[in-house]
Amino acid sequence: MKLVSTLALAAVMTIASTNPALADNHQDAEADTTMADDGVPGPDEDPYIWLEEARSERALAWVENENERTLAALENDPRFETLKAEALAIYDSEDRIPFVSFRPDGLYNFWQDKQNPKGLLRRTTLESYQTEEPEWETVLDVDALAAKEGREWVYKGSTCLPPALTKCMIALSDGGEDATILREFDTSTKSFVEDGFVLEEKSQGGVQWVDADTLMVGRDFGSNTLTDSEYPFTTRIWKRGTDIADAPEIYRGKPSDVWAGASLLRDNTGTIHARMAMRGTSFHEAQHFVQKDGEWVKLDIPLKASPYGIVDDHLLYTTDVDWEADGQTFPADSLVAVDLEAWKADPNGAAKTLVWAPGERQTKRGGAVTGNALFVQLLDNVIGKVLQFNHVDGEWVSEEVELPDNATVGIAASSAETDQIMFTVTDFLNPTTLYYADGGTAPRPIKNSPAYFDPAGMDAEQHEATSADGTKIPYFIVKPKGMAMDGETPVLMSGYGGFQIPRLPAYLGSTGKLWLENGGAYVLANLRGGGEFGPGWHQTAIRENKQRTWDDFIAVGQDLVDRGFTSPDHLGIQGGSQGGLLVGTAFTQRPDLFGAAIVQIPLFDMLRYHLIGRGASWIGEYGDPRIPEQRAWIEQYSPYQKIEVGVEYPTPFLWASTADDRTHPAHARKGAARLKELDQPYYYFEDMTGGHSGGVDNEQRAKLQALQYVYLMQQLMGDAF
């Protein structure tokens, strides 16, 4: 799917992933000898700083010992092999939907299965795709490439020159890190280009094509080119046949930025209308610029607003705050338009008009531009909708796309040349259905995911819990067949609550097979700090108010107990990245409320998080522990410091990835080490590959799933540690 936002394009130029979950900066632990003047703990206060060295011999020896202990306890459980086989059958399923992207030379899909664990980039025709067994043509075999070069390549996508999209820069990661190398690839010849563009030094950042012989590049170029958060803040123009070291710099942000870089403003035909730039002054705020007459002109828009894309000869903006302009106020989360030619002539003087504003409990999620329209995904009280927008007779008009009600709806793919578009429709108990439309008819289903578990007798309900400050927090519970309201049902509760990311109902797949079919219930909490109800829902639970997210999660857990769905001995919690921090705060603040806690690729030591990985980039979400006032917010909940002598905690399962260059494995490692120091029971496992986004093969994914569900069954279904 083509993302509409030019802010997203700028971010792609400067970071490998816009997922706000986070990255790995190998911190020199030896540089710290005592608590710094800024109050950040050093080795005198923290004996486990050495675990912040991701691949030191000492740290990896510690990991090996922990892995051996955990695998001996969990893999030897008689349920492990069955659970792993069931998960692997789902991941390797040949009849799952092969999601595609539209390109002029076909529909492209990246596919992993038992025979191709690292994956195939392949293509087919629209006609063939709509059959039960499409005929696929392999474009790139990542397994063959990895075997030939002796590397653990993980395919991280491609950036291609529009409109033909045959000249591409392929991104590859060794072992799953976010940092990638980039190589020029020709999809028409299905081969890497001899003497083509190549960036073999791994780095965060990316490229955009200017033309067939020119790239715009934002990477690590050496000294004074990375921010304090270890992201690029410069952009260069690289001509074919020249050395990247000689490429002229066209834009430079500041080292204090989270990230910065230039990008191209293109319409859906590939025509370039402007050079843009952005400086991420915090994770949630940015300054935007347009190049005019050789100068960078700052756009007069809020720090929480950004260009959204070009539709019907208009440039659209999106804003996360109320925006006063031209004598009117555009509400937070609205879309605002300016005439494109007027904007190019006078970027800050073009008249602004409202395209769309959210209703109560509505928020937009993202969109796509086809040949003639804009499609925007909405959440309406956590229920999905899609609106189609067009500019007709001087006015913006919209209509709702005809898709099933009471489901999670998404845009799966769209064509820039035509009005072809695909949508997904799903919920907890019903497999995903893929719909197709060509602009002339209503969407029709063309593919269905297989059912991976039997939903007979299962039911999904929505309830509300009351948080500590009285706010009502919605959550979903999916009940197994025959669930009794006696407090004995094992419940797995999940949440996120950060970075304006919503957690939505989606087909449970492996969770349904491995957990629901075995008598467990599943709960999804919609916490403040997330994006389920728009920017305000997020902004009310950041920085000095981040405790609200943790309160919301605890309130949902307490509500489950109070309603008789479960009891503390049978209530488990699970979350990854920011969600791992969520789980860490929950089991350290209310150890009496939970019987199990899965802490995945987490943040955990929040007094040093700005020094670990890309932590400095998330100060906009959590605050800066170097500033006394803000450190006071953070130290009230930082799980690592909250593990205390004399408290009986539920036995947690912490796991991480050595290759995670977002949150970094140090957080989970240090949490486990602290628990061990206090003779608290725990499990720890570290995957040596995969990275933060889990770019491992299906065999390893199945193993991780089985380990977690064996752990949950041991903790919540009566088996001793």
State residue 680 phi and psi, 5-degree precision: -90, 135
The pLDDT assigned to 2 comes to: 34
Surface-to-core class of residue 292, CB atoms within 10 Å of its CB (0-12 exposed, 13-18 middle, 19+ buried): middle
The pLDDT assigned to 233 comes to: 97
Active-site pick, 449, 610, 692, 693: 692
Q: How many beta carbons lie within 10 A of that of residue 647, not counting itself?
A: 12
Length, in residues, of the chain:
721
Q: 27 CB contacts (<8 Å, ≥6 apart)?
A: 52, 53, 611, 612, 666
Angle between helices 698-716 and 57-74 (to 10 degrees): 60
Q: Let me know if 567 is a catalytic residue.
A: no
This prediction's pTM: 0.90
The pLDDT assigned to 81 comes to: 97
DSSP per residue over 144-160, as a string? Answer: HHHHHHT--EEEEEEEE
For residues 497 and 528, the answer to whether their CB atoms sit within 8 Å is yes
Give the single-character DSSP code of 407: S
The pLDDT assigned to 327 comes to: 92
Q: Let me know if 288 is a catalytic residue.
A: no
Residue 286, token pair as written in the block: 């940015």
Say which amino acid occupies 562.
D
Look at residues 634, 686, 683, 682 and name the one whose alpha carbon lies nearest to residue 657: 686
Give the single-character DSSP code of 337: E
The pLDDT assigned to 440 comes to: 78
Look at residues 668, 664, 686 and name the one whose alpha carbon lies nearest to residue 604: 668
For residues 370 and 268, the answer to whether their CB atoms sit within 8 Å is yes
For residues 336 and 319, the answer to whether their CB atoms sit within 8 Å is yes
The pLDDT assigned to 694 comes to: 61
Active-site pick, 577, 617, 638, 657: 577
Q: How many beta carbons lie within 10 A of that of residue 614, not counting itself?
A: 27
- List beta partners, residue 134: none
- What whole-number distance in Å separates Cα of residue 202 and Cα of residue 217? 13
- What whole-number distance in Å separates Cα of residue 158 and Cα of residue 182? 9
Pairing status of strand 596-600 against strand 571-576: parallel
Reduced to 3 states (helix: H, G, I; strand: E, B; else coil), residue 562 is helix
- What whole-number distance in Å separates Cα of residue 464 and Cα of residue 714? 29
Q: 543 CB contacts (<8 Å, ≥6 apart)?
A: 620, 621, 622, 623, 630, 633
The pLDDT assigned to 467 comes to: 98
End-to-end CA distance of the chain, in Å?
45
- What whole-number distance in Å separates Cα of residue 422 and Cα of residue 417? 14
The pLDDT assigned to 693 comes to: 60
The pLDDT assigned to 37 comes to: 67
Peptide linkage before 78 cis (omega within 30 of 0): no
The pLDDT assigned to 88 comes to: 95
As averages over each run of 10 residues, the pLDDT of the chain (721 residues) reads: 34 30 31 59 96 96 97 96 96 94 97 94 98 97 97 95 97 90 98 97 95 98 93 97 97 96 96 97 96 97 96 96 96 97 97 96 92 94 94 95 94 94 97 94 95 97 97 97 95 97 96 97 98 96 98 98 98 97 98 98 97 93 97 97 96 94 94 97 89 72 96 84 32
DSSP per residue over 94-141, as a string? Answer: TTS----EEETTEEEEEE--SS-SS-EEEEE-HHHHTSSSPPPEEEEE
- What whole-number distance in Å separates Cα of residue 429 and Cα of residue 451? 9
- What whole-number distance in Å separates Cα of residue 17 and Cα of residue 13? 10
- List beta partners, residue 324: 329
Cα angle 209, 215, 220; round to 5? 120
Cα distances from 645 to residues 43, 584, 641, 642, 649, in angstroms, run 20, 16, 11, 10, 10
- Which DSSP helix (H) or strand (E) runs through 199? strand 198-203
Q: 205 CB contacts (<8 Å, ≥6 apart)?
A: 13, 14, 15, 16, 217, 218, 219, 220, 231, 232, 261
- What whole-number distance in Å separates Cα of residue 272 and Cα of residue 210? 8
Reduced to 3 states (helix: H, G, I; strand: E, B; else coil), residue 513 is helix
* Spatial strand order in the sheet of 259-266: 259-266, 272-282, 285-292, 295-298
Q: 370 CB contacts (<8 Å, ≥6 apart)?
A: 268, 414, 415, 416, 418, 419, 420, 421, 439
The pLDDT assigned to 692 comes to: 65
